[in-house]
Amino acid sequence: MKLSLFTALLVSSLSSLCFAQADLTQKVGSSTAAAASRAQLIVPLQDKAREVGETVYNTWRLGMIRGNMSAWRSSTSTARQRKLYNSIVSERGDFNRDLFGENAQPIAMLENFRYVGALSACGGKSLALTYVGRLQLGNSPKPAAAAYVLHFIQEGSLWMFDRASFFSLEKLPKLANRLMKGDAKVLQEQDGFYPYLTLPTLPRIATRPELIAKVYVDCPGREIKMMINGHSPHEFYDVSRADVIWSGLRRGANEISYTIEDVPGLPRPSMAIGVFVMPETLGNQPAVVFEHILDASDQPKGGRFKFVVSNDQIKAMNPKYKGAKPQPFRAVPLKTRSRVNAATKASE
């Protein structure tokens, strides 16, 4: 199981910076959840909303492509700027150098998509524009039908781009058909199309880490909200992803807390949470210091857990380490081989 978790984490870590920049997440909300929040939605003037959003998005996109810091700052929300700064600094990176790194992910051109509609919330201070088209998703060999949602927030009198989100429509043919036909009513039926219902807050500024670390989560059919050491928040929604832990981990005591909620209408196979200290010496391996692994039959429960990063765990990152390999703190014990096998399949 650990080898599979390591493999998944290492693959994710290769593109961690570019995914942080786009903050791509796959999210399909349930109709039940959407109905509970629908009263907060505002249907803005569509032509005006589209004009404003596309102008800001294209300014942001060109800033990213050209490495223009001034254009990027003038079009990116303050909260998003802080989040990207925190992620880069927490990997000992240089913000001005690494923001526009050579591994930056290609950024979608809106000309390749069909506009569906816009929704607003937060008294008109948040905005989401939805498009439909074909995207190269994950390891898929060819583009797949997908929805592409752009999120904006208003700061003072200016609109700022915050993030882009997407989800595949390959297994949702009815939804895809309605979007392709320009049926904007569907946007109010699925919370994956919603604008922010609460404006993002400005996170604490991260410090350079004692130990570079990442949290890997594979949570099909579940939503997980997490906090690590009181200053690194994370949210995972029906996704398999690795996040940089802001300010990293420290030798000795650390703390993680999270909630786990089922997503209505989605299958819930095995799930896994792993916290890793990342190697900074060539040839060393990540060290798993915390894990929570459940198979499909288990009832997931969150909580608050304290775990220790020991000197032996750091030493064991070296493949030449001869001692007994230290075990991670486990939120729940691995009781049976079948549970390990189930978690392994979930992370492959």
Backbone φ and ψ for 305, nearest 5 degrees, come out as -130, 140
* Cβ-Cβ contacts under 8 Å for 52 (sequence gap 6 or more): 127, 152, 159
Report the alpha-carbon distance of residue 274 to residue 292 in Å, rounded. Answer: 7
Q: What is the pLDDT of residues 262-285, one digit of tens each?
A: 887 778 889 999 999 999 999 999
Nearest to 19 by CA among 275, 209, 207, 242: 242
Q: What is the pLDDT of residues 100-120, one digit of tens each?
A: 875 456 688 899 899 999 999
Pairing of strands 240-244, 213-218: antiparallel
Question: Would you say 244 and 214 are in contact if contact means Cβ atoms under 8 Å apart?
Answer: yes
Q: 51 vs 54, 75, 105, 189, 230, CA distance in Å? A: 5, 14, 25, 24, 40
- Residue 191 DSSP code: G
pLDDT at 136: 67
Question: Would you say 275 and 325 are in contact if contact means Cβ atoms under 8 Å apart?
Answer: no
Low-confidence stretches of the chain (pLDDT < 50) are 1-34, 103, 337-348
Nearest to 150 by CA among 80, 228, 96, 235: 80
Q: What SS3 class is residue 200?
A: coil
pTM of the complete model: 0.80
| Domains in the chain: boundaries | 16-193, 209-347
